[in-house]
Structure 1
Amino acid sequence: MDNPNFTQPAPSGLPDNILSAPTPQDPHEPRIFHRIFFGDEGLRAGWGILLFVLLCFGSNYTISRLHLLPAQPQTNLAQSSPELAPVPSVISEGVMLLLVSLATLILSRIERRPVTVYGLGGSGRLRLFLHGLFWGLVLLSVLVLVLWKAHLLIFDREFLAPFAIFRYAAVWAFGFLIVALFEETFLRGYLQFTLTRGLSGLYRLFTTPKRAGAFGYWTAGFVLCSVFAFGHGNNPGESPFGLFAVGLFGLTFIFSLWRTGSLWWAIGAHTSWNWAQSFLYGVGDSGNMIRYHLLASHPIGQPLLSGGTTGPEGSIFVLPTLALLVAATFFAVPRTQRWYPANPASAATKID
């Protein structure tokens, strides 16, 4: 019987360990490779942001190259601001929302966090959404009223026939809900959470975890609001002050997320504000005009006062309106849980 403890000697001239098992790989090597991509809180923030952006823009680029989306109908070249048609607009924004949702879902699985942790969770979501709808509609109406009373905005006539009012009111309400969902989840969902997580880790080198979380949150908010404003720069009727106002709008929504722990207030206010501008009053919406709006109007006077082709957001009167929007968030909406806890690793368990 062979002796299991017997080792056959190596042939002459060869080292003794040539027939022995190969030397195990250094156990620290895979650990080092793992630490490049993962930290104590899971996937590192920089890699997460890079993957999220690649998923969103890569898939959007592929779709655009394949010409899978309907193009906007050609408009009269004499128009200063071409009007957006409802069906192509809703489909395009819906596809973008789908891509962002899929990217968020994929990253949530990689990071082993519930998808609701990226601003869509929390309690009282319907109540927050309805609050946002109300205040967005009311305060945009107040802004339009001020411009009208100051003779900076003139209403010409009703644009739609009675039988078409309800149809296009519903179509554009759905369309602007899709726009709000897309823009809020794209810039103030996964990206806000993850950039906050990464920046908070840097701030914790210099201050307490609680302060680091706050500093990281607001730094991320300023960065992404700048991206939000920059993204509106190609709108045909946009102005420099209008872009500044867009950034302030983003900060208003960042504040509502910080206070309520949810994106739903911002989604509601974003939806009704855009719907009231574009459909109800027929004014510019960050330089864009839509087809089939209820009222027809035009601005007069200095663009910095009237808003010009940008719409009410291009008027300096938008500043006190935004202050009222912040006040409505602070006083009319009860504070729930702060969205971003001091310990980022515990966020998934603290937010349902």
Structure 2
Amino acid sequence: METLTVKQKVFNSPVTKIVLALLVFMAVVIIGQQIASKLLGLTSLDKDYRNLLKGLFVSAAAVISYILFFKKYEKRKITEFATKGMVKNLIIGAIIGFVLQSLTILVIYLNGSYSVVAINPISFILIPFALMFTVAIIEEILVRGIIFRIIEEKLGSYWALIISSLLFGVLHLWNPNSTILSSLCITTAGFLFGAAFISSRSLWLPIAIHFAWNFTQSGIYGAITSGNEKTNSLLTAKIQGLELITGGEFGPEGSIQATLFCFITTAILLFLSHKKSRIIKPFWK
């Protein structure tokens, strides 16, 4: 039996793999943004279209760098970004994200805290579309594709789910207007995205849910997303009322009903994962 050297053990350890992957991936994203900005700045395209193309370019660079890095590092086929089943996962994920956010807004509306001020041209969705598409791909590759997946190999699905989701919540603590409730909801959303990956064994599903959740919130219903400034949106809306229901300055995803909807969907996905035998046990079991 071949004995691994100390150097090989260190190189193949989960910690080393995560650190190297994060460094390479973030370098590609940052450099990709700079290159795209410089090239598109030379064109006469409208700012909205430049942002859309920049988002698509950076997203493509992110996916390609992930595939190439782990194909070389782990010497395997990158099934989590397989084209087979991609369209199905993207459609299902988009539906889940849209429905969850729509239900969240519906509760705010029924509480008398949401009203439409104006309906804007369809072109208003370009900026939030490009932004949320890029954010979803980058965050899902970082948290689910790298951190969750590598931890899961050793500690199993549930420990990986707990660690990555708590980290996801903690990272959003630095967002403007963050609260304990908003952090709880973001952590629950982390469980949802992780459960989506376990259920499908594809990153396309959590990416689609994540994108649709954010885009529906800010690009369609005109709400704040994760405490950031409002973007252009299809609907200009007025949201005011009890912070527990509206999410306050953090946005609807910081509300109690958003947390509840994410929790229920997570439970359903984990139940389906058990039925499909897709839960990975920790190495000691």
CA separation of 1:307 and 1:86: change in aligned 2, threshold 3 A = farther
Residue 144, structure 1, aligned to residue 144, structure 2: no
CA separation of 1:277 and 1:130: change in aligned 2, threshold 3 A = same
Contact 1:196 1:220 in 2 (8 A): yes
Instruction: Please tell me the residue identity of whatever aligns with 1:110.
Output: Y
Match of 1:318 in 2: 258
Moved more, 233-242 or 138-147: 233-242
The alpha carbon displacement at 1:251 in A equals: 0.3
Whole-angstrom CA distance in 1 between matches of 2:212 and 2:138:
15
Moved more, 219-228 or 272-281: 219-228
The alignment-based identity, stated in percent, is: 23
CA separation of 1:97 and 1:126: change in aligned 2, threshold 3 A = closer
Aligned match for 2:158, one of 211, 218, 226:
218
Instruction: Please tell me the residue identity of whatever aligns with 1:155.
Output: V
Contact 2:240 2:248 in 1 (8 A): yes
Contact 2:223 2:230 in 1 (8 A): no
In the alignment, structure 2 segments of 5+ residues that lack a partner are 39-47
CA separation of 1:125 and 1:339: change in aligned 2, threshold 3 A = farther
In the alignment, structure 1 segments of 5+ residues that lack a partner are 1-27, 72-84, 201-215, 344-352
More helix by share: 2
With normalisation by structure 2, the TM-score equals 0.79
Match of 1:156 in 2: 117
SS at match of 1:231: helix
Whole-angstrom CA distance in 2 between matches of 1:138 and 1:105:
34
The alpha carbon displacement at 1:222 in A equals: 1.9
Match of 1:133 in 2: 94
Instruction: Please tell me the residue identity of whatever aligns with 1:129.
Output: L
SS at match of 1:317: helix
Aligned match for 1:49, one of 10, 13, 18:
18
Instruction: Please tell me the residue identity of whatever aligns with 2:69.
Output: I
Q: How does 1:94-133 map to 2 (within 5 A)?
A: 94-95=57-58, 98-99=61-62, 101-116=64-79, 119-121=80-82, 124-133=85-94
Contact 1:286 1:311 in 2 (8 A): yes
Match of 1:229 in 2: 169
Match of 2:152 in 1: 196
Residue 36, structure 1, aligned to residue 9, structure 2: yes
Instruction: Please tell me the residue identity of whatever aligns with 1:108.
Output: K
Task: Please report the RMSD computed on the Cα atoms of aligned residues, expressed in angstroms.
Answer: 3.5
With normalisation by structure 1, the TM-score equals 0.65
Match of 2:125 in 1: 169
Aligned match for 1:268, one of 193, 208, 221:
208
The alpha carbon displacement at 1:130 in A equals: 1.0
Alignment: residue pair count: 274
Whole-angstrom CA distance in 2 between matches of 1:196 and 1:173:
31
CA separation of 1:61 and 1:280: change in aligned 2, threshold 3 A = closer
CA separation of 1:61 and 1:182: change in aligned 2, threshold 3 A = closer
